[in-house]
Chain A
């Protein structure tokens, strides 16, 4: 079956509103990763700033209180330390932990290469050098905004706006440094393997399912409805026999014109059986190259015929 042709850098909207970046590693199988939200990136940045400033503070205290150095040498040393803990900290930690700083590790995000290849040292350096202009200098200017003249204050505000707007206006949430380096910040993927509903259904206990579905029953729905049903069945907060479940069962039986009445108490059994039968049916259709997206598949077919 042919995969639809995808560019290496397509962005789509996920089901839960997250943006998904699809990219193709050298193996040729497209992988999707969720683009990190600006909130978690901001959180990671704030954490990193806290960590580095704490470290500098501790070192400064240690240098001053041990008092082994002449005063001007101590000052130079502390300032050098401050210099080393800015851009070099981000570059080195992202190199060592493959795209993660301490803050990023905590908030569960990481930097990846847009090209689908490994992150290069050049990219890490480039994106973090730009961080100076995009984050540290505007931050410093913001602290002195009281002492600035009107023109300077306006320039600071303009600068801040430009820096904030770029990742907001950008589909992939890249800041200027990311664009230049060709990198992307994504959520760390987490994987949980849920049980297979087709196996765990109660019908498995008895060899014969309680409900029989005819092909015309199964010809109504498509992939979208099946996976919506999957969500309902997997949702552990929904208890059987609630109003909602009964309503879902009623809707399905009416829509597929299922004649047998579903007895009270058998709703979950019905849904599980229907899920299994529908999935089997759709998967075999898929096998023959007749994949169906949703319940409108028949309409689209007739409309397509009309157009021809």
Chain B
């Protein structure tokens, strides 16, 4: 039968009934009288920790919390065996659950978490996801190529690919001068219109990236289609400017933020594709397990994509208006590209042994 012995450490405290527990009581009532003081002590500690986190407790109190938690767990399993007092068992259940939630709170600091993610987690996740990344970039490149070819042969395709809200006035019917002015913001277009447009573009792309990522669960296809469509629009834009003889200028205009932004979209697509691949080809695991496993890398790809989109937004909002020279635009854009590749390929390489995913 269950041992009713009290943990000697815990019994050293003062109990109101210590030594004087009446013997004619029920076994379960005696059990409760002997330990109630400890439970109440734990209850107080847990209440304080819930309000202010474990940092609100002193060293001794944290030690008491840990010991009290284990003792309460022990009490709970004994009470379930011997007591028919439902109120008592319910109290212990909730006390143990609360103490458990305090005892198993995340223990690392936010700063440590971030630096670990940036220095090791993300680069390692990127290097593990070769195939999804290939799919993500393939979708964009194929889309851009198709959009370019179609629009080059017949400019009316442009209206099919690019929604009127996005194109603004930049359509194949616009004059070359107008188009040039949108690339090199002169005084007339520097104002509300363009800034609002680039802000819109940013939030649009963020939405697209998140959608592309999350829809990947449904077997990668929506991710692929959305990225492909983004590529189509890109290709159509490029073809339109090219026909007006501004291929180099628009390439520079797109490069300064596009290298970062389009890479972010492809990476989001790769994250989604990874999830989709886990559903399609789970291998030896069950589909749910495969999805859960793949989600570790996919989530890191999504965080990376979000980071890159924020950087792209800053470049788009500030640098692109300030830097008007196409050569400098190219240097900044592709310089950022080199920076991303360098970080992702070289970061977190110290140990060959630690190939386990960092959580």
A interface residues (Cβ-Cβ under 8 A, vs B): 1, 3, 25, 27, 29, 31-33, 71-73, 75-76, 79-80, 82-83, 87, 92, 95-96, 98-99, 110, 112, 117-122, 125-126, 129-130, 132-133, 137, 176, 179-182, 188-194, 196-199, 223, 226-227, 230-231, 234, 276, 279-280, 282-284, 286-287
Contacts and interface: CB of A to CB of B under 8 A. Distances in A.
A191 B98 contact: yes
B82 A287 contact: yes
Contacts of A191: 43, 91, 94-95, 98
A118 B105 contact: yes
By Cβ-Cβ distance, the 10 closest A-B pairs, closest first, are A72-B195, A76-B317, A191-B94, A133-B214, A189-B94, A118-B104, A194-B87, A189-B97, A98-B105, A193-B91
A73 B318 contact: yes
A29 B101 CA distance: 14
Interface SS, A side? helix
Contact of A71 (B25, B106, B108, B195): B195
A27 B70 contact: yes
A126 B1 CA distance: 45
Contact of B317 (A72, A87, A226, A279): A72
Contacts of B87: 193-194, 196-197, 230, 234
A96 B53 CA distance: 9
Contact of A125 (B76, B195, B299, B317): B299
B199 A122 contact: no
Contacts of A1: 1-2, 81
5 contacts: A76-B195, A92-B110, A126-B295, A133-B215, A276-B26
A147 B13 CA distance: 71
Given A25-B104, A180-B295, A73 B214 contact: no
B110 A71 contact: no
A122 B83 CA distance: 40
A110 B248 CA distance: 54
Contact of A83 (B74, B206, B359): B206
Contacts of B108: 121
Given A72-B321, A230-B85, A32 B93 contact: yes
A112 B105 CA distance: 10
A199 B80 CA distance: 19
A52 B14 CA distance: 49
A287 B2 CA distance: 9
Contacts of B273: none
B28 A283 contact: yes
Contacts of B196: 72, 75
Contacts of A196: 29, 32, 85, 87-88
B127 interface: no
A31 B43 CA distance: 16
Contacts of B107: 118
Given A83-B206, A125-B303, A199-B33, 18 more contacts: A25-B73, A27-B73, A29-B77, A75-B199, A76-B199, A76-B202, A110-B101, A120-B359, A121-B106, A125-B299, A125-B302, A180-B217, A191-B91, A230-B86, A231-B86, A279-B28, A279-B84, A283-B28
A32 B80 CA distance: 12
A129 B210 contact: yes
Contacts of A223: 84
B28 to A, nearest CB: 6
A207 to B, nearest CB: 8
Interface residues of B, number: 77
B106 A98 contact: yes
B144 to A, nearest CB: 25
A97 to B, nearest CB: 8
B296 interface: yes
B97 to A, nearest CB: 4
B112 to A, nearest CB: 10
B275 to A, nearest CB: 8
Contacts of B206: 83
Which residue of A31, A118, A119, A190 has the most chain B CB atoms within 10 A of its CB atom? Answer: A31
A132 B217 CA distance: 14
Contacts of B106: 95, 98, 118-121
B84 A80 contact: no
B327 to A, nearest CB: 24
Nearest to B107: A118
A282 B110 contact: no
Contacts of B194: 72
Interface string B105-118: 11110100100000
B100 interface: yes
Contacts of B61: none
Which residue of B39, B93, B95, B110 has the most chain A CB atoms within 10 A of its CB atom? Answer: B93
Contacts of A231: 86
B84 A193 contact: no
A110 B101 CA distance: 10
A284 B106 CA distance: 43
